[in-house]
Amino acid sequence: MKTKLIILFTIAFLFQFNTAFAQGCEGDLPVAGDDGVPKTSSITFFGYFQPQYDTYFTDPGENTFKFKRARFGVRGRVNRSFSYYALMETSDFISSDGNPYLMDAFITFDKFEWTKFSVGSFKQPFGLEVNTACNNLTTIDRAIVSDQIVAPQRDLGLMMLGGSDKTNFRYSVALMNGRGLGVKDNNTKKDIIGRASYKLFDFMTVGGSYRYAFPTNNDDFRKTYGAEIVLNYSNFKIQGEYIYDEGDYNRAADGGCGSTPLELGEKRAGAYVMASYDVSKKLQPVFKYEYFDQDLDIKKAGYYNEMMTIGVNYFFNDNTRLQVNYQSKIETIVNQDNNALLVQLQVKF
């Protein structure tokens, strides 16, 4: 175990990243105000709504209005050393029992930029797309591999992290229960999860993630590896991610943002690549290709999934966005048409 901790902390200081490292759904809380004077206290209410209309081209067809997410939160600073963050999810379509629940609730000691500590419930520090705020996703849905392998996406634990959105170097390492929100751990061992990245050039950032977990008991382990890259050139952006996972997994853990958990084999992997172009400040077309293999050892109908997403994002202003996505799904089940058209309007405050 000591060797694994040493390796994980070494990885954390070799890589670095300058986007999508918040523990919750919002960015870092500044220690100083606009005038540069350190804040001794503050409080901010925030949130966002995502009403959505989905059409599934199945036989028979389906369509529905729903709330993808409806979240309310509060964040603030107690003094120059401690900040706090809490977020509620109220959408019936994400909660497993249809009731509102507390998603994120953590306290952070952030006096020092390179050695901060957070304790409470927050996102697992694994993966680029999972740690991108839900209100800042380029496509309406995260990739299948992100929702299925990085589960539970939120958990309880202790995290050490460093850097900010203004630095090139960023890292985060956490000890977490591995059971998800609202559930006590059922064993004496904790999951070790870390993510870090490095900005090689002004236009290129690379990163990696690692998880060593005990999802069900003290003996059955789980190992997960992730690699990511982001390329930015003028108004053109490409990002990609690959995740490999093996070992046992918690079958009671929900998939990301209400997605249905899939049956996994002993080894599983997936990846995506996404390209977007800012035609203007308001218009952004996007294309995404992804695949997910639920079991690398066998080729079984329904276990290998591919999907292409063609979409467009329209920004009315900084707080209002319309997203339209057409999902073309390719599965190993023949003669099954389950493509979908998703339309989402977002307002945040």
Q: What is the per-residue DSSP string for 112-151?
A: STTSEEEEEEEE-S--TTTTS-GGG-SSSSPPHHHHHHS-
What's the pLDDT tens digit per position in 166-218?
788 899 999 999 999 988 998 999 999 999 999 999 999 999 999 999 999 99
Q: Which domains does the chain have, with CATH numbers?
A: 2-348 (2.40.160.10)
134, amino acid identity: C
Q: Which two tokens stand for residue 269?
A: 């992997």
Residue 301 near residue 284, CB atoms below 8 Å: no
Cβ burial 223-261 (10 Å sphere, 16+ → b, else e)? ebebbbbbeeeeeebbbbbebbbbbbbbeebbbbbbbeb
Residues 6+ apart with CB under 8 A from 4: 192, 212
Residue 173 near residue 159, CB atoms below 8 Å: yes
Q: Which two tokens stand for residue 299?
A: 């080729």
Q: Which of 333, 273, 280, 335 is nearest to 309 (CA)?
A: 273
Q: Which of 325, 295, 128, 103 is nearest to 207 (CA)?
A: 128
Residue 347 near residue 145, CB atoms below 8 Å: no
Radius of gyration of the chain (CA): 20
Cβ burial 22-50 (10 Å sphere, 16+ → b, else e)? bbbbbebbbbeeeeeeebeeeeeebbbbb
pLDDT-based confidence at 28, cuts 50/70/90? Answer: low
Q: Which two tokens stand for residue 17?
A: 């990243």
Is 341 or 252 the better-scoring residue by pLDDT? 341
What is the structure's pLDDT at 31? 57
283, amino acid identity: L
2-8 long-range contacts, Cβ below 8 Å, gap at least 24? Answer: 4/192, 4/212, 5/192, 8/173, 8/192, 8/194, 8/210, 8/212
Say whether pTM exceeds 0.85: yes
Is 294 or 10 the better-scoring residue by pLDDT? 294
What's the pLDDT tens digit per position in 289-311?
999 999 999 876 667 889 999 99
Residue 2 has pLDDT above 50, yes or no: no
Residue 44 near residue 226, CB atoms below 8 Å: no
What is the structure's pLDDT at 24? 73
Between 70-84, 127-141, 161-175, the lowest mean confidence (pLDDT) is in 161-175
Percentage of the chain beyond pLDDT 90 is 70
178, amino acid identity: G
CA-CA-CA-CA dihedral for 37, 38, 42, 46, to nearest 10? 80
Among the ranges 30-34, 101-105, 182-186, which has the highest mean pLDDT value?
101-105
Alpha-helix residue ranges (DSSP H) falling in the chain = 2-14, 144-149
Kindly report the backbone phi and psi dihedral angles of residue 33, in degrees, each rounded to the nearest multiple of 5, phi listed first. Answer: -85, -170
Is 8 or 277 the better-scoring residue by pLDDT? 277
pLDDT-based confidence at 253, cuts 50/70/90? Answer: confident
Residue 115 near residue 160, CB atoms below 8 Å: yes
* Cα 130 from Cα 238, distance rounded (Å): 17
